[in-house]
Structures are given as structure tokens and as C-alpha cells.
Structure 1
Amino acid sequence: MILLAAGLLNRILGFVPRIALPRMIGAEGVGLIQLVFPFTIVMLTLIAGGIPLAVAKLVAEADSRGDNRSVGTILRVSVALSLAVSLFAAAICFLLSDLISTRIMTDARVHTAFLTMIPVLPLVAVSSVWRGYFQGKQNMIPTALSQTTETLFRIAATLLFAWLFLPFGLEYAAAGAVLGMVLGELAGLVVLWLQLRKDRVKPPNDTPRVKASRIDESPLKAILHTAIPVTGSKMIGSLSYLLESILTVRSLVVAGVAAAGATAQYGALQGMVIPLLLLPGALTYSLAVSLVPSLSEAASRGDWVTIHARLHQSMRLAVVTGAPFVVLMGLLAGPICTLLYGDDSMADMLRWLAPLAVFLYMQAPLQAALQALNRPGTALFNTFAGAAVKLALIIQLATKPQFGIVGAIIAIGVNMILVTLLHWISVARLTGFRMHPLDFLKVLLAMIVMSAVALWIWNHDLLGVDGLNLAVSALLATVVYLLLLVALRLIDRHDVTRIGRFFRPRGPS
């Protein structure tokens, strides 16, 4: 709930620079900023891809045993490791900045922005470890506070420095925007540091020594055991996205689409449609983050009843909360795209992918479960298999004139389904976990009724203004959906009780 609230707030705030920055520095200036991002994402994945999750998992296991000595050791070793790797990467980036900006990013004007980006590497490295620590302690408030603070400072600083540096040219305006992002990360790091001071790890002598564990014997090895496969899995995703962008545009050109048209079609798909599908990602992210320490703690006790309960709870929440987005994006794709982008040419893409998005929403909790249960290598293989199939299908289908961009959409949809099913099979084999089919039937029934309500309100055009009709259709249909969830007992008194406990002040432990 805490991470969900912060995630939704950050996503809403994130629209501010998306709207204001292009108006300030234009599409060309935004393009210079965007050129910095792909390489930065790859570097951050290498530096902090899997360490935060490893920290969360190991801290949860040690904390469940009351082993404060191991908790402190994990935190110190992980910070030292992340900081060392990030400083080494920053030095390499600085020394090779000319080569990277001219050859890899293809535009020498991005050099200043790239240099400005380098300090973000150690900042993210340390903050990610501290967030992993708090998540392992199952305290999501510091993470939520730091993310929200980072977003607010980033928005203000990005717009301010882009405006201040604009008179010196687009190159410096783009660098100013990147500087704002760096300052946002610094602000988030300060919040985490202040929270860490309040929740300082107890000195080893304060806690009785517990039985030696894998963490005590080799903390670095324990961290790398989880971090390396998770980093590999994320790297596959990053490289897959890079190759997807290259192969899709080239395949469309082979299919007879002009180069500019191919770029525009892929831009509509990845820049407009996919972000809409990822809107419920705030919830799936919060589920995945909170699931890792919860399952790790239960697994360390051999508590399979709790593991099954947590898995069922997270999967049910992922499906139940993602379903209304699927309905609205599938049925009202045209008016949604027109309202947001002033153009409904990409509505068919959204309409085709929306029904498959439910698999995407289930994917994050399942992957988190594999990582929490010491199967990060399995998650890595499943992700790799899905990426390979997706890229192969893009080459096979998008190059054919009868498919074109639809071939890329089919490939992305198959990837969503395949990776989710592979994760599901892996989790089922590992834990014996089974979903209740009746839950899916209940959600499907609620979606059908919600669809009828949304279409009836939209088609009757009660308010005469498309934007208002869309808002009323979505709101009333969602209210009906929630009432049906209660009536069908997909939301029960236990869920309400948990939410009530969340809002009540906590007593001393």
C-alpha cells in the first residue's frame, strides 16, 4: 500500500516534465536527453541491477533469526561493493566520454549531458542498497519517501536548470535537465540517510550470537549469489529492448514502410502505447518488492503455508487491480489516445495489446517469488527465452508487408504470455502453488459487467464532452467493478482489516 501510493504519485508527477520540457527546449533538446538514457540504464543495471534485491532477501532472512550482526555485515559489504563498482564505472565513462558520445550515441552534442550524468552512478548505487535494506526490514516508508522526494526535486531542478542553461544552447539546456535528475537522486539519497540514522543497525554485542549461516561465513558470496543472476536477467531485458528497437524499425523498412514511417510507428508503440499498459506497474512493483523479504523470511522458517498464502494474495491482487485497466484500455482505446496524445492512430495497437496486459501484471510477483526462493537463475532463463522468441518473431513477422507493425505487436504479446507462463510453471514446480480457477472466473464476470457499464455510458454521450464522458465512464465502471469484487468476495473483510491496520498508529513492538 505504501509503495503503491508513492508509485502512483510519482507517475502522476512524472507527467509534468513530459509536458513542460518539450515546450521549453523542443523535440531536438529532448532528443539529446533521450540519447543519454539507454547507455545510462545499461550502466545502472550493471551497478545496481541485482544488489538491492539480494540485500532485501538476505536482510529479511537474518532479521527473521534476530541476527543483527549479519544484518550489519550485509549492509556494510553491499554498500562497499556497490560504491566500488560505481566509482570504477564512473571513471571508465569519464575517460571514454568522447568515444561514447560520438560513436555509441551518434551525436557529439550529447557529450556535455553525458558528463553531467556520470555522478548519478554512485548516487544510485548507494541509494539502491539502502532501499534494499529497508525493504528487507519490511519497512517501505523510507523507500516511498525517498522516491517521492527524488521525483519532486528532479522535476523542479530539471525544469529550472534547463531554463537557466537554454541561452547557452540546446547542448547546455539538455545538460541542465540531466543535472536536475542528478540533484533529484541526491535528494532521495539524503532522505534515505536520515531514515537510516533513525533505524541504525544494533551493534553486534547487543544481540546474542546465533548459529553460523551462509551470510556469516561469506557475506560477499551470499550477495553475489543472488545479485549476479538478477543483474543478468535485467541486462537481458535492457539489451532486448535495445535490439527490439533496432530490429523493429529495420524490419518495417524491409516490409516496405518508409524509414520515417517505421520510426513513427515504433515510436507510437513504445512511446505511447506501452507506457499506458505499464500504468498498473506501480502496484506490481510494490507487490514484487514487498514479496521478496516476506517469502524469504517464510522460506528460512520452512513455512510453506505462509508462502502459498502470500503467493495467492499477490497474484490475486495483480489480476484484480490490473483487470479494470485492461477493460478501459481495450474498449475506450480511441478516446483515451485522443485525450492524451491528440491522435488516435495508435488506438488499434492499444486495443490489441490490452487483453494480454494481464499476463504482464502477473509477471512481476512471479519473478520476485523465484528470486526470493533462491531461483534467480530460473527467472534469468525464462526472461532470456521470452526475449529470444520475441526478437525472432519480430524478424519473421514484421518484415512481411501483410503484418508490418502488427508483427511486432504479436511478438510483444507472445513475450508477455510466454515469460509469465514459464515463471508460473517454475513457481508451481518449486512450491506446489496453484491458483484457484474460481477467482479468475469471478474476475472475468466482473470485467464483463464493467465493460457493459463503460460502453453504455460512453455510447449515450450523456455530458456531450468527450473528456468528461470518458472520465465518467471510467469512474462509474470502476465503482461497479469494485462493488462486484466485494459481492463476489474477491475483496473480503481480511483485506479491509489489513488496510485498517495500515492506517492505525503502531504501538511499541
Structure 2
Amino acid sequence: MADNSSRKNSFIIQAGILAAAGIISRIIGLLYRGPLHRVIGDLGLGYYQSAHNYYTIVLLISSYSIPSAISKVIAQKLALREYRSAHRVFKSALIYVLAVGGAASLLLFFGADFLCKMELLGENEVLVLQAFAPTIFIYGILGVLRGYFQAHGSMVQTSVSQILEQIANAIVSVGAAYLLIRGTMGTLEIPADEAGRVTRATYGAVGSALGAGAGVLTALLFMVGVYMLNRGTIDKRIQNDRHVGTDSYKSIMRTIVMVVTPFILSTAIYNLSATVNNTVYTQIFPSLRELDEVAVFSRWGVFSGQALTISNIPIAFASAMASAVIPSMAQMAAAGDMKGVKEKNTLAMKTIMLISIPCAVGLFVLARPMTGLLFHNVQETEDLVTGLLMALSLSVVFYALSTLNSSVLQGLGKVNTPIINAGIALVIQTVAALLLLLFTELDLYSMAIAVTLYAGVMCLLNQWAVRRATGYRQEIVKTFLIPTLASGCMGAVAWATYEAFLMMTSSPRISVIIAIPVGACVYFLMLLLLRGISEQELRAFPKGYLLVRLARKCRLMK
């Protein structure tokens, strides 16, 4: 396990490793969505996403924030070389998640019927939600192990576990959905009657939910194996710890609760928008307009299972950067190094924008071929997904900024600020979604606007809070303007390349596969020509020295 101070910009490299794993995981997730969609259909995806939103709430409250929170506490101990206390934090965190995760799993399993009675969840999603319940208990333990290694400045273990998790999820989701539908219905054919379609979609969604549990279990087994391999080094550090006083388990547990609780609230409210949007569109909207439930859930499956899933891929880099920033910021804040905090924040912000802005432009320009590449839709559905993805593209930049700034504030100890900001943004987006649904004919586009509005409000509020907390002033030209200009050139070339190869090959898939790397090369070229990135910043990326060598060979960098 690497020392946190081994390199000045090591957190960028670790974030890059975690981001690469996150993007690979999400690509795997997208690739299996195609086969899964063919097995369970739009209605099955609608039931799955609806239940998944409530599962996500309970997961957020119980376990999801554990890696970030634990990495912050342990990183503070490691900065003082208090290895014995650090390991006590690890063991106390395990006790915490066993208790909280177990209670949350039981609550989700037995509370599904209650949500149905309260008309917050349809009858068809109850079985799906119950299938998710065991995953929460397993995820808590996995989160502690991931947080432990992240605190040591090593994201490799978490990265590999994420990829293994997604591979297992993909295999079991499709396989279990296939077997359950085949076993229940006797065939994969979609029944003509509505009751048969609902039954088929329900069991397909249950199979997909089982895949999530299988993925988390696979990742947990891997992380346990990694921990056991490092056990000798861990024990040696503890034995060599010469600190006289060691924190008591009681004080450590109190610290964990005090740190984890704000992280949980912040993350829960930050991610609550998806569940609120789901409730607004699938429960409130149909009751006010007297719409057909099956049609509503099918459309929701298109929005959340396809358009929203694709738009979330680039945000993986921001999430990875946020995970890497928290322990680093916590150590600097504890040492009173505000200059170091500003430098890290500047580098992290610029790095995220260098990735997020071209991704947003790429999603907007190549929305249709990317949708066709990943999903098999009829023309009407493909048109809808394309429009929704274009409408969601700007949210990529907003979410990237707000995610990073939330983590910066948490690392600085301003844990309540993101909670307040997320609450304000949630109210604004919910009111906007309701008004747009009731008084316009935008339908699902209302939800895309609400998602973008939520991310934008969070972005502005968090940015202002970071500025007040650190005195940090955002550099504009190289962080935003140059990447935007370079991305515009990239988008134009990528679109032209796609259209040219489409005329030659008549294959949208071949054309988009060629257009994406061509666009990436143009973006890199324009970034260097416009002096949007320095050699030092480029070297901070994983394998950045190869990019520097390439730029020098092309005479784009001295």
C-alpha cells in the first residue's frame, strides 16, 4: 500500500485508475443492458429501475458512504502514523456496518409491502425490491474494505473489485432473468395479454436484481482475499507503532458515527433526486393525468434504463476524483495546509473539466449512433432516447463539478454544507418537474430538464461554498474556455467522420466506433495547440509520460 505523500499529484493518478475502472464497469453495465433489455423489455426495465431507486435510498443511508467516510477517518490517523488506532477504526467500522447493514436489509425486505400499501411502490415491484435486500448487508462490509485501502492512497484494489462486481452482475442479471422468465412463463415470447406481460416483466426484473447481489458478493470475496494478502504488512505496522496512547473503541465508534452520519445525509439527499423523479413520474403524474400504468413504466424504463444510464458513464471520473480527494484534503486540512488544499482543488477541477466537457459534447453530437450501438430499439424509441440523451448531456458537466466540490467540502470538515445545498436543489428540481409535467407536453423531457436543473443548482451552490471555505478563486480560461473550444472542434470532426463513414459503410455501429477515437485525437490535438494543458499536468494522468512523448514526437510540446 502506497504512502499518500509519495507523489505530489499521486491522487490524480489514483483517481485515474479508479476512474478507468469506473468507466470500464459502466461500459460493461451498458453492454449487458442490451441483452437484458431483449430479455425483460422496457416494462421489465421500468419495474427494475423503480425498485432500484428505493433500494438505492436504503443503501445510501446504510452503507454507500462508508468508503469515503472511513477513508477520511483512517487517512487522518495514518497521517499521524497512528497505525494501531487506524486499524481499530477499521474493525469498529466493520462492527458498525454489520449492525446497520443487517437492520437495513431486514427493513428493505419487510418494508417493501408497506411501501406498496402507501402507494409509493407498485405491487409488481415488491418482489424486485425484496430481491435487492441481501445486497445491502454485503455492500457494507465491502465498503469498509474499499475505504481502508483508499485511505492508504491505493485505488487499485477498489478498481479491480468494481470491474469484477460488474462482470458478475452482468452474467447473473441476464442469466437469472432468462431462467426465471423461462421457468415461470415456459417461453421467452412476450404474451399478448397485459397480465402475462406484467408477470413476465416482474420476474425478469427480479432476476436482474439478483445480479446486483451476485456482483457485490464477488467483489467482497476479492477484497477479503486482498486484505489477507496484506495482513502481514498491516500487523507489522501495528507492532511498530510507538504511540503511547491508542484511541478507545468507544471514542472511535463515536467518531465513526459523527463522520459517517453527515456523509450519509449528504450522499442520500444528493442521490435522492432519482427516487423523487421516479415517484413524480410513475406515481403522481399518472394519477393526475389518468395514464396507463404499463405505458408509463415502459417510458420510465427508456429514460432511466437507457438515456440516464448512458449519461452517467462520464460521471464515473468525477466520482473517482472525489474518492481520491477526500483523504488527501482531510490530511491537508488537519495540518492547516490551505495552500495545498487550493492547489489540489485547482488540479482536480481542471482535470475533471478536461474529461467532462468533451464527454458532454460527444454525447450530444453522437447521441443517436451511441444509442443504436448499445440498445436495440424500434425507431420511435430510438428517437426518444436520442432526444433525451441530448437533453441530458449538459448535466454531465454540472454533476462532475458538484460531485467534486461536495467531496472537497466533506474533506475540509464542512460536511453539513452539501446536505443543505442538495436539499435546496432537490426542492427546486421537484417543483420544476411537477410544473413541466402538468402544464406542458414535454413528458419525459420534463424529467431531463429537472435532472439538469438539479445538477446545475448543486454545482453553483457547492462552488460558492468552496470559495467561501478556502478563498479559492476558479481559473476560467484553461479550466473551462479552452476545453470547451477544443470540444467544439472535436464534436464537429466526430460528427463529420460519422456521417462520412455512414455514407461509405451504411453501418451506424462501424461509423460511430471510428468517429469516437478520431474525435478524441482531435480533442487532444486542439488542447495542446491552444496550450490548455501543461507537461506537468499531462504527466499527472495515468501513463501521462506516454502522452507527453507522443506530443513531443508530433512537435506539439517542447
Q: Tell me, yes or no, whether TM beats 0.5.
A: yes
Alignment equivalent of 2:351, drawn from 317, 323, 332: 317
Find the residue that maps to 1:480 and give its secondary structure.
helix
1:453 aligns with 2:484: no
Residues 539 and 545, structure 2, Cα contact 8 Å, conserved in 1: no
After superposition, give the CA deviation of every residue in 1:235-288 in whole Å (9 maximum; x if it has no partner): 224443222223245776699695466655554433332222212022111101
Q: Which residue of 2 aligns with 1:302?
A: 336
CA distance in structure 1 between the partners assigned to 2:37 and 2:366 by the alignment: 27
Residues 50 and 125, structure 2, Cα contact 8 Å, conserved in 1: no
What is the Cα-based RMSD across aligned positions, in Å? 3.2
The one-letter code of the counterpart of 1:309 is E
Greater alpha carbon shift after TM alignment, 273-282 vs 245-254: 245-254
Residues 132 and 209, structure 2, Cα contact 8 Å, conserved in 1: yes
CA distance in structure 2 between the partners assigned to 1:415 and 1:108 by the alignment: 29
Matching of residues 456-495 of structure 1 within 5 Å: 456-460=496-500, 463-465=504-506, 466-495=508-537
Q: Which residue of 1 aligns with 2:482?
A: 442
CA distance in structure 1 between the partners assigned to 2:179 and 2:374 by the alignment: 29
Q: Which residue of 2 aligns with 1:76?
A: 91
Matching of residues 142-153 of structure 1 within 5 Å: 142-153=157-168
Count, aligned residues: 502
Cα displacement (A) at 1:318: 1.1
Gap runs ≥5 in structure 2: 1-15, 185-199, 547-558
Residues 68 and 147, structure 2, Cα contact 8 Å, conserved in 1: yes
1:88 aligns with 2:103: yes
Find the residue that maps to 1:218 and give its secondary structure.
helix
Alignment equivalent of 1:191, drawn from 218, 222, 226: 222
CA distance in structure 2 between the partners assigned to 1:193 and 1:63 by the alignment: 21
CA distance in structure 1 between the partners assigned to 2:454 and 2:367 by the alignment: 22
CA distance in structure 1 between the partners assigned to 2:542 and 2:400 by the alignment: 25
1:48 aligns with 2:88: no
CA distance in structure 2 between the partners assigned to 1:402 and 1:109 by the alignment: 28
Greater alpha carbon shift after TM alignment, 368-377 vs 489-498: 489-498
Over 3 Å counting, the alpha-carbon distance change for 1:471 and 1:185 in structure 2 is closer
Q: Which residue of 2 aligns with 1:233?
A: 266
Q: Which residue of 2 aligns with 1:358?
A: 397
After superposition, give the CA deviation of every residue in 1:279-326 in whole Å (9 maximum; x if it has no partner): 202211110111111111121222222211211111111111112222
Q: Which residue of 2 aligns with 1:411?
A: 450
CA distance in structure 1 between the partners assigned to 2:306 and 2:76 by the alignment: 41
Residues 446 and 485, structure 1, Cα contact 8 Å, conserved in 2: yes
Residues 353 and 397, structure 2, Cα contact 8 Å, conserved in 1: yes
CA distance in structure 2 between the partners assigned to 1:404 and 1:25 by the alignment: 24
CA distance in structure 2 between the partners assigned to 1:38 and 1:21 by the alignment: 18
The one-letter code of the counterpart of 1:235 is A
Cα displacement (A) at 1:389: 0.6
Cα displacement (A) at 1:92: 4.0
Cα displacement (A) at 1:79: 0.6
Over 3 Å counting, the alpha-carbon distance change for 1:456 and 1:255 in structure 2 is farther
Residues 255 and 400, structure 1, Cα contact 8 Å, conserved in 2: no
Q: Which residue of 2 aligns with 1:427?
A: 466
Cα displacement (A) at 1:102: 7.0
Residues 158 and 179, structure 1, Cα contact 8 Å, conserved in 2: yes
The one-letter code of the counterpart of 1:374 is G
The one-letter code of the counterpart of 2:493 is V
Over 3 Å counting, the alpha-carbon distance change for 1:301 and 1:446 in structure 2 is same
Over 3 Å counting, the alpha-carbon distance change for 1:107 and 1:398 in structure 2 is closer
Gap runs ≥5 in structure 1: 505-509
Cα displacement (A) at 1:185: 1.7
Find the residue that maps to 1:436 and give its secondary structure.
coil
Residues 342 and 472, structure 2, Cα contact 8 Å, conserved in 1: yes
Over 3 Å counting, the alpha-carbon distance change for 1:426 and 1:108 in structure 2 is closer
Residues 255 and 398, structure 1, Cα contact 8 Å, conserved in 2: no
Aligned-residue sequence identity (percent) comes to 23
Cα displacement (A) at 1:434: 1.8
Matching of residues 14-413 of structure 1 within 5 Å: 14-25=29-40, 33-34=48-49, 36-93=51-108, 99=114, 105-107=121-123, 110-111=126-127, 114-169=129-184, 175-200=206-231, 201-202=234-235, 204-209=238-243, 218-248=251-281, 258-259=291-292, 266-341=300-375, 342=377, 343-401=382-440, 404-413=443-452
Find the residue that maps to 1:344 and give its secondary structure.
helix
Q: Which residue of 2 aligns with 1:507?
A: none
CA distance in structure 1 between the partners assigned to 2:165 and 2:64 by the alignment: 19
Over 3 Å counting, the alpha-carbon distance change for 1:431 and 1:477 in structure 2 is same
Over 3 Å counting, the alpha-carbon distance change for 1:64 and 1:484 in structure 2 is same
CA distance in structure 2 between the partners assigned to 1:315 and 1:353 by the alignment: 21
CA distance in structure 2 between the partners assigned to 1:35 and 1:394 by the alignment: 17
Find the residue that maps to 1:118 and give its secondary structure.
helix
Residues 429 and 454, structure 2, Cα contact 8 Å, conserved in 1: yes
Cα displacement (A) at 1:177: 4.4
Cα displacement (A) at 1:98: 5.4
Q: Which residue of 1 aligns with 2:554?
A: none
Greater alpha carbon shift after TM alignment, 285-294 vs 273-282: 273-282
Residues 63 and 97, structure 2, Cα contact 8 Å, conserved in 1: yes
Over 3 Å counting, the alpha-carbon distance change for 1:255 and 1:496 in structure 2 is same
Over 3 Å counting, the alpha-carbon distance change for 1:348 and 1:425 in structure 2 is same
Output the TM-score relative to the length of structure 2. 0.81
The one-letter code of the counterpart of 2:161 is S
The one-letter code of the counterpart of 1:225 is M
Greater alpha carbon shift after TM alignment, 132-141 vs 449-458: 449-458
Over 3 Å counting, the alpha-carbon distance change for 1:210 and 1:269 in structure 2 is farther
CA distance in structure 1 between the partners assigned to 2:328 and 2:421 by the alignment: 23
Cα displacement (A) at 1:417: 1.3
The one-letter code of the counterpart of 2:29 is G
**Structure with more relative contact order (C-alpha pairs < 8 Å, separation 6 or more):** 2
Greater alpha carbon shift after TM alignment, 392-401 vs 155-164: 155-164
Residues 291 and 368, structure 1, Cα contact 8 Å, conserved in 2: yes
Output the TM-score relative to the length of structure 1. 0.88
The one-letter code of the counterpart of 1:446 is A
